Amino acid sequence: MSLDDALDVLAAALLLSGAMLALAASVGVLRFVDVLSRMHAATKPQVLGILLCLAGAAVRLRDSVDLWMLVLAGAFQLVTAPVSAHLIGRVGYRTRHVRRDRLHVDELAGPDVDD
Amino acid sequence: MSTPRRRLPAGLHVVPLLWLTTVWVLLWGTWSLGNVLNGLLLSAVVLLLLPLPDVGFGGRVSPRGLLAFVGHFVADLILSSVQVAWQAVRPGEQDISSVVAVRLRSESELLMTMTAEALTLVPGSIVIELDARSRTLYAHVLSAPDDASVEAFRRQVLDLEARVVRAVGRPEDRALLLRPSGAA
């Protein structure tokens, strides 16, 4: 097996595992019980899934000028995903889209919350 | 490797200028002189027309601290992705969650922001509220069905904060790590 073949196999493995994580993330968005839980699925496996796909594409493209664009896409993903998750989570909490029966403690609510 | 102390001048900041120029060149894909000059010019225009507030970095990047932070971050990201992915696809009900308050030790808004950003991507938590005045961070923990796991999460956040401060904090930020903290 030549080096090129080995790299192609590596690229395929990265792309496939990235796609699997993205699939699991979307299943999580569907299945989790409230907005806050769904944001977990929409951040962690989703971000790593995209990073793996980008890495796979980078290995496949090797020495193309577009490689740097993949690096940028990954960097911005890491910077922006937590911010959007934070904002959506905050809005979700404030508009009471929280399943309180599925919470063990809620230290943001304070002791004298009515529900 | 030495760690030069960077003091940013008023007006045009060096770090954002270089960062924007780098982004521009990366988008074009080649490090030609024309790309770099155009990038510098455009970045200067952007920074002058859309000035950002000074976040007051003034810190010192420690290579060893940064390496430790990045290493932990990558390992945590992989671990948490697999955990959340498994929770999403496994049969049965989702674990009981918690909203946990953690009182941070650093007073710098930049360090608190970095801690919150990193925390969202690592095991089990997303930050939903950050009160800078009381240095309190509120996070939703996906799998925290009892008091022990809530305490474990608090310790985890404080460890993460310590790594952020050791990577980019000022000496006075490092000193703050010694003060007692934890529950809000």
Q: What CA–CA distance (Å, rounded) separates A14 from B82?
A: 15
Higher pLDDT, A31 or A65: A31
How many alpha carbons lie under 13 Å from residue A114 in its C-beta half-sphere? 1
Contacts of A17 in chain B (CB under 8 A): none
What pLDDT was estimated at residue B132? 79
Are A65 and B29 an interchain contact pair (Cβ–Cβ within 8 Å)?
A: yes
Nearest to B157 by CA among B72, B36, B38, B45: B72
Q: How many domains does chain A have?
A: 1
Write out pLDDT tens, residues A40-86: 888 888 889 999 999 999 998 877 777 888 888 888 888 888 888 88
Which among A47, A89, A90 has the least Cβ separation from residue B121?
Answer: A47
Write out pLDDT tens, residues B13-43: 787 888 889 888 888 878 888 889 999 999 8
Which among A20, A44, A93 has the least Cβ separation from residue B121?
Answer: A44
Per-residue pLDDT of chain B (184 residues; tens, 9 = 90+): 344 444 444 456 787 888 889 888 888 878 888 889 999 999 888 888 887 776 666 667 788 888 988 888 888 888 888 888 888 888 877 788 888 888 888 878 888 888 888 888 776 788 888 887 888 888 888 888 888 888 888 888 888 888 888 888 777 777 777 766 544 4
| CB-based contact A25:A46 (threshold 8 Å) | yes
Where are the domains positioned within chain B? 1-54, 63-183
- Helix A3-31 vs helix B63-89: angle between axes, to the nearest 10 degrees? 60
Are B96 and A104 an interchain contact pair (Cβ–Cβ within 8 Å)?
A: yes
What pLDDT was estimated at residue B59? 63
Q: Which domain holds residue A18?
A: 3-102
